[in-house]
């Protein structure tokens, strides 16, 4: 066995458990919203399998051109790990962006510490990993509501070209515990310089973030997520945290949506609604930035 120190990102698709247990009813509209083909009936397991395939493609896309990173998918979750923390952070950022843009809700935990893996791996069975950082990453993933990434305190100290302000402290209102959160949603492109937050203009970054909000609020791809109360909570919590950071970055943009407000307005979904909202957002960005 090989033991080393490194970063581990654990990511999980939200809602799949409820979907496969029959708690969410899938119909023709859910398939058509994602342009999924279907066989005879609209099975939730058939729908789930297509979501997992989408997730797998995102994992491959986020890792295939990066050096020194490994990935293992376990159904609706995955582990990514490397001795290079920057590589894992950028891969995590890309996975979260591509997932939401593709209509997948994911949540993650990012830890640094002990990684144990075998000298040789039977690739037919997939990659294999264990260790303290793995356990911690899984534990962190369960701490948050919404499409968010909780981070262990050791991670930031290992950054090379990642700006420290991508991680911020947050307080859990339930037990008043403090945890660190990765603000993946304020970095729409690869992070290559800790002193330069984005290669995009201010307007482009704002519009990229607003696109995430428009998807969460109005995309028909997330209709199955908001068909249950727990799913609505996850979507509303994501809208809350993303919009909070948006107005922190750009105070002139009045697009702050609290979870309490957002959860009441998640049913108005459709491509036409999404497009009209994006036109409004673009107009406001051009006028205020």
DSSP string, 133-144: HHHHHHHHHTT-
Q: In what order do the strands lie in the sheet with 77-82?
A: 70-74, 77-82, 2-13, 106-117, 149-151, 178-182, 167-171
Contact 106, 23 (CB under 8 A): no
DSSP string, 48-95: HHHHHHHHHHHHHHHHTTSSS-EEEEETTEEEEEES-HHHHHHHHHHH
| Domains in the chain with CATH codes | 2-186 (3.30.70.1230), 202-288 (no CATH)
pLDDT at 198: 59
pLDDT at 183: 97
User: Considering the entire predicted model, what is its pTM?
Assistant: 0.94
pLDDT at 278: 98
pLDDT, one tens digit per residue, over 181-196 is 999 999 999 998 876 6
pLDDT at 44: 85
Please name the residues in contact with 251: beta carbons below 8 A apart, sequence gap of 6 or more. Answer: none
pLDDT at 199: 67
Give the span between the Cα atoms of 272 and 218, in whole angstroms: 9
Which residue stretches of the chain have pLDDT < 50?
Answer: none
């Amino acid at each position: 066995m090989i033991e080393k120190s490194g970063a581990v990102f654990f990511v999980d698709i939200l809602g799949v458990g409820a979907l496969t247990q029959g708690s969410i009813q899938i119909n023709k509209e859910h398939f058509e919203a994602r342009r999924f083909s279907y066989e005879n009936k609209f099975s939730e397991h058939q729908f789930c399998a297509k979501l997992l395939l989408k997730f797998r493609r995102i994992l491959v896309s986020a890792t295939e051109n990066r050096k020194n990173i490994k990935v293992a998918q376990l159904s609706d979750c995955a582990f990514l790990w490397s001795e290079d923390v920057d590589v894992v952070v950028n891969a995590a950022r890309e996975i979260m962006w591509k997932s939401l843009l593709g209509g997948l809700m994911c949540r993650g935990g990012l830890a640094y510490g002990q990684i144990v893996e075998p000298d040789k791996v039977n690739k037919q069975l997939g990659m294999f990993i264990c260790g303290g950082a793995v356990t911690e990453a899984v534990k962190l993933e369960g701490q948050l509501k919404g499409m968010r990434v909780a981070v262990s305190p050791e991670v930031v100290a290992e950054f090379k070209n990642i700006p420290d302000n991508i991680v911020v402290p947050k307080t859990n209102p339930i037990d008043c515990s403090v945890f660190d959160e990765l603000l993946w949603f304020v970095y729409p492109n690869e992070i290559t310089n800790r002193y330069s937050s984005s290669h995009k203009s201010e307007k482009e970054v704002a519009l990229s973030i607003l696109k995430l909000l428009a998807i969460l609020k109005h995309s028909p791809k997330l209709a199955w997520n908001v068909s249950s109360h727990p799913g609505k909570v996850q979507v509303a919590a994501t809208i809350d945290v993303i919009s909070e950071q948006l107005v922190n970055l750009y105070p002139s943009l009045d697009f702050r949506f609290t979870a309490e407000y957002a959860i009441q307005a998640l049913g108005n979904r459709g491509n036409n609604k999404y497009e009209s909202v994006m036109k409004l957002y673009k107009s406001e960005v051009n006028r205020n930035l």
